[in-house]
Copies of this chain bind each other. A is one copy, B any other.
Amino acid sequence: MATQESSYGRLTAVSLGPGDPGWITRAGWQALEETECWAWPVKKVGATSYALEIVLRGGLEPPAHSLPLVFPMVRDRAALENAWKQAARETLTVLEQGRDVAFLIEGDGSFFATFGYLARQVKALQPAIDVTVIPGVSSPFASAAVAGVVLAEREECLAILPATVGLEKINHALDHFETVVLMKVKPVLKPLLELLQRRGIEENAVFVEQAGAPQCRVIRNHEQLAEEGVHYLSLAIITGVGSHGRS
């Protein structure tokens, strides 16, 4: 498609991977180096950003005129939509000046990321804005590498669920898929461990916390998990189940 020269800056989502700055792609790194305004999500004004910390660990500093954008961790839909709209307006102000914006994303931009909401709100305000996603290493794949497990081979099927969808859906996935990845296990850790025990598949599960960050932990010991709990950036990979498994 012919691309018309636009007077607006471009909005680029830079997927940084889940934690190790070495997992940033070359294209992502180049976008960071070349873009004069970065934006990143924060939970409240003045809070730190997990995404920004990945880049800082890599040795890059944000440009002077950058945008911490507030995405509060609330469930109230109206409050969320207001926050996204506000973030979109702030981003659009920069884009309307003809300046490009690089939005920093932990993990991958197409996968449980705030960027989707922001992009839709920006597009709603100004459809002419050019939006690009640079893909990245997503946490299930990074965690598999760190834990030394294979997610899928041959005719195997992989299911990725937020652990908060409920035990019924998790059970169903464990019945039908050879590998199941459960994201965000923290709020349901106790019932999840009980479920794995009930099904007799504790040894099929490995938990990975903050993959690629200096604090990264790989945990297979369920007693330790039950005692110590996990960071909110934790997932479980359960292999060898479904039609190939023991359950």
Contact = CB atoms under 8 A, between A and B. Distances in A.
A165 B178 CA distance: 12
Chain A binding surface, main DSSP class: mixed
A160 B161 contact: no
Contacts of A22: 25-27, 30, 134
Contact of A157 (B17, B157, B165): B165
A20 to B, nearest CB: 7
A162 interface: yes
A86 interface: no
Given A25-B137, A26-B25, A136-B137, A110 B145 contact: yes
Contacts of A24: 25-26
B150 A155 contact: no
Given A110-B145, A144-B135, A172-B176, A162 B157 contact: yes
A40 interface: no
A141 B111 contact: yes
Contacts of A27: 20, 22-23
Contacts of A153: 112-113, 116-117
A158 B157 contact: no
Interface in A19-52: 20-27, 29-30
B17 A25 contact: yes
Contact of A159 (B26, B111, B159): B159
10 contacts: A20-B27, A110-B145, A111-B141, A135-B142, A135-B144, A138-B138, A156-B162, A157-B169, A159-B177, A172-B176
